Structure 1
C-alpha cells in the first residue's frame, strides 16, 4: 500500500466516522467489524490449522488470530474492503504490546458488567502500539482514532458491533477467555511479521494470489454474493416453492464461480470454508444439502435468539474438499 493510497484510505475512513454511508456493506470502503461472529475453536476442529498454510478473509482480524493461535505456518489475508487491513493490524499490534487486562480495556467496547470501557480506543494506549505497526497503519489510526474519540464511530464500525456483548466476544475464542492462552498467542505473534494483504473481490482473487494454500477461509462471502444477485441485503435460504429451482440454480452457479477462482491456488489435500451460519442446523436448499459441499455443526458462538430466528445452539460450517472427489457440477 503506497502512502498516496493510504491518504485516500484515511479520507474514506473519516467520511464513515463523520456519518457518511456507502452503497454496499461489502465494498472497497465500508464499515469494519471489531470482532468476528464465528467460533474459532469449533472451526479449528474442522480445518485443523496446525502446520498449514492459510489464506483467510481479513475482516475483524479474528480469523487471522485463530489460524495463528492454532498453529498455522503461513497466514495471508485478503478482503475487498481495504479498511479491514488496518483493523487486523491494530488488533495484532494490541495483542503484541499489551497485557491481558490492557487489551480488553482497549479493544472491548464494554466491560463484563455492561458499562463502557473508558480506555476503549484510548489515544494514550494507541501511542504505545505505534512503534510495532507498519508506518502507514500507525498514521491511519492516529487520524481515525482521534476523530472517533472526539465524537462517535459514525458509520465506521458495523452497527451490530457498537454495543457488542462481552460474552459474545469471548465465546469460541480461547485467547480472549484465558490469560494463559492470550499470552500464548502473544508469543506467537511476536515471532511473525504482519500478514501480507491482498485487496480483491472474491471472483478476482485467483488473479491476485501468488501462492498456494492448504486452507482457504472465505467466511460468508459466498452467501453475500448470492444476496447481491437477488438484490437483497442478506442471504435468505428460504423461498417460496415456485422460486426454488431458480434459487438453487443461482446457488450452484455462484458456488462454482467462487471455487473456480480459488481451487487453482488450493493444494491437493486442501479445504475451502465456504459458509458459516449462526444458530442454525437445518439443511437449507442446495448449498447446505450435502450434495457437493460438506456440512458440519459446531457449538454456537451466540446464544439462541428466537426473536430474530436464530433458534439453535449450533452453527453450521460449509466446506469444500476437492480430495474427497466432490465435483463442481
Structure 2
C-alpha cells in the first residue's frame, strides 16, 4: 500500500516560514507523539493541545484522556481534524489508509461520500476548494520532504486495525477547536488542564533570540508561567513545552546544552516556583539516527 510514498511526498510542499494563520495544512504529525505519550498516564485526564493535524488529540484519546481541547493559529487545521475524526469513527481502516497514504486514491471523494452529510459547513468549503483545483490541491498540504509517514507506523493510532477501531470507540462526535495562537490561551480557555501540549511552538515564539538559554528563559517568563498559573492543574499538571528534533547535530547539541543549563537553574528553584523541568528521548519520525528530545515541565504547588 505504501510503495508510492516517495512520489506522494514530492507532490507536497514544505515551508520554513514558521506558523501563521494561512499556513499549508498538516495532515499527520512529524513528531513521534505516540512515542512520548506512552511515558505519561493520560487515563481520565483533561488535555489542551495544539491542533495541528489532530494527531496529538487522537493519541491522547487513544490513551484514555477524558477530554481534549485544541487550538491553532492555522485555521485550516480545523477542517482536517474534523475530517479525520469523522473518518476514524465511520470509515473502515483500509479506506482511511487508502485516502491518506496512497497516490492513486489520495483524497478520493468516493471514500468519504457516505459520511459527507456529517460535514460542517467549514469542512464542506474546505473539501470543495480542494476538489475544485484538481492536482494543485496537494499544495494545500505541508509535509517535510524527509518525512516518512510510516517510519514509526507501529506506534500510532493508525498502526493496526485494532488500534484504529479502539480509538473510534473512544472519540467524541467532535473535537473542540479554537482559532488562536498561544498568547490567547488564558483569555479563551477558562479551565485548568492536567496536560498541555505545545509541540514546537517554542521554536518560533522567540526566534529573534539566538541564544538558546535566553530564549528558554523568555519562553518560561512570558508564556509558561502564565499558562501554569491560569490553565494548568496545580497538582501534577504537565506542559510539553518543546519537541526537539535530533536531525541537526550542531543545533541539537547547542540547544541541549542550553536546556540542561536552563533546567538546572529552574530545578534549583522548584520549592519556590512549584515547577520541575525534565525531558525524555524518543525515536525520530524523520529518519535521523539521533533520538528526538521532548522537554516538559511539571507543576506541583503543594511543595512550595
Q: Map 1:175-194 to 2 at 5 A.
A: 175-189=157-171, 192-194=172-174
Asked if the contact 2:147–2:287 (Cα under 8 Å) also holds between the matched residues in 1, the reply is no
- Partner residue, 1:287: 259
Whole-Å Cα distance in 2 between the matches of residues 45 and 324 of structure 1? 25
Question: Paired residue for 2:125, among 113, 126, 140?
Answer: 140
Q: Deviations over 1:20-62 (max 9, x none)?
A: x999541111111111022233222333211100001100111
CA positional deviation for 1:68: 0.6
Alpha carbons of 1:22 and 1:105: their partners in 2 closer, same or farther (altered >3 Å)? closer
- Partner residue, 1:168: 151
Alpha carbons of 1:261 and 1:106: their partners in 2 closer, same or farther (altered >3 Å)? same
Asked if the contact 2:199–2:241 (Cα under 8 Å) also holds between the matched residues in 1, the reply is yes
Alpha carbons of 1:253 and 1:139: their partners in 2 closer, same or farther (altered >3 Å)? same
TM-score, normalisation: structure 2: 0.80
TM-score, normalisation: structure 1: 0.75
Whole-Å Cα distance in 1 between the matches of residues 135 and 62 of structure 2? 35
* 1:278 and 2:264 are equivalent in the alignment: no
Question: Paired residue for 1:267, among 233, 244, 258?
Answer: 233
- What are structure 1's unaligned runs of at least 5 residues? 1-18, 111-115, 231-238, 305-310
- Partner residue, 2:4: none
Question: Paired residue for 1:210, among 190, 193, 201?
Answer: 190
Partner SS for 1:26: coil
Whole-Å Cα distance in 2 between the matches of residues 297 and 35 of structure 1? 21
Asked if the contact 2:206–2:218 (Cα under 8 Å) also holds between the matched residues in 1, the reply is no
- Partner residue, 1:125: 111
CA positional deviation for 1:298: 2.2
CA positional deviation for 1:78: 0.5
Q: Deviations over 1:281-309 (max 9, x none)?
A: 746243354323212112333332xxxxx
Asked if the contact 1:272–1:321 (Cα under 8 Å) also holds between the matched residues in 2, the reply is yes
Asked if the contact 1:217–1:273 (Cα under 8 Å) also holds between the matched residues in 2, the reply is yes
Whole-Å Cα distance in 2 between the matches of residues 67 and 214 of structure 1? 12
* 1:248 and 2:232 are equivalent in the alignment: no
Whole-Å Cα distance in 2 between the matches of residues 153 and 288 of structure 1? 43
- What are structure 2's unaligned runs of at least 5 residues? 1-11, 267-276
Partner SS for 1:294: strand
* 1:299 and 2:292 are equivalent in the alignment: no
Asked if the contact 1:278–1:301 (Cα under 8 Å) also holds between the matched residues in 2, the reply is no
